[in-house]
Amino acid sequence: MTGRRRTAVLISGRGSNMQALVAAARAPDYPAEIALVVSNRPDAAGLGYAREQGIEAVAIDHKAFADRATFENALDTVLHKHDIDLIACAGFMRILSAAFVEKWLGRLLNIHPSLLPAYRGLDTHERALADGASEHGCTVHFMVAELDAGPIVAQARVPVLPGDDAATLAARVLIAEHEIYPQALASIASGEIAL
C-alpha cells in the first residue's frame, strides 16, 4: 500500500494499546501502517504479540547503555533503519530527552491515563480517586520536551463510580484508550491534524 505512514509503537510491557493500534491498522483504508514495535525491556510480552502478527519487533534494553543519550541514539538508529515516519508511545516507561523529542517533534505521540493537564506523571488513577474526582479519562497528545505537556489531539472521559479503586478505574480508562488512540493516530497519519 502506498501512502500509509510507517509507524513505530514504543512499549515497555504487554502493549495493549499497541494491540489496539495493530487491530485498527488492519483496515485497508487506515492511513498508518504499524511497521515496527520497540521495547526498552527484552521481556516485554508485547514483543511476542507483534512478532506473531508479522510485525518487526526489536528490544533495545535501556539497561545495556551507559546513559540516556546512547540509548536514544540506538533507538533513533533503529527507527531510521525501518524508515519510520511516526512514533506512538504506548505504555513506554522511559522519559525521552528534549533532544530526542525535538528531533521527532510533530511525529511523536503519547497516550496518558488522565484528562490532561490534570494528573501529569504517574499514579494518575490513585490521584484522581484521592481527589474525589467525579470523572477521569485519557489523553492522546503530541510529545514535547516537558512531560505530559504537549498539544492535545484527543481525549475520552470516563465516570468515576462509587466503590472504584485504582484497578477498576484503570480498567475503565484502558477501554477508552483503546478507542481513542487508533482514532488519534489516524487523524495525524492522514494529515487531518498536525502540530
Positions marked catalytic: 112
Between CA 173 and CA 137 the distance in angstroms is 5
- Lookup: cell for 88: 506512538
- Lookup: cell for 51: 512478532
Between CA 135 and CA 180 the distance in angstroms is 17
Is there a contact between 128 and 160 (Cβ–Cβ < 8 Å)? yes
Q: Give the number of other CB atoms < 10 A from CB of residue 154.
A: 19
Is there a contact between 192 and 154 (Cβ–Cβ < 8 Å)? no
Residue 53: burial class (beta carbons within 10 Å; 0-12, 13-18, 19+): middle
In a 13 Å sphere around the CA of 3, the CA atoms on its Cβ side amount to 7
Q: Give the number of other CB atoms < 10 A from CB of residue 129.
A: 16
Strand-pair category, 32-39 with 5-11: parallel
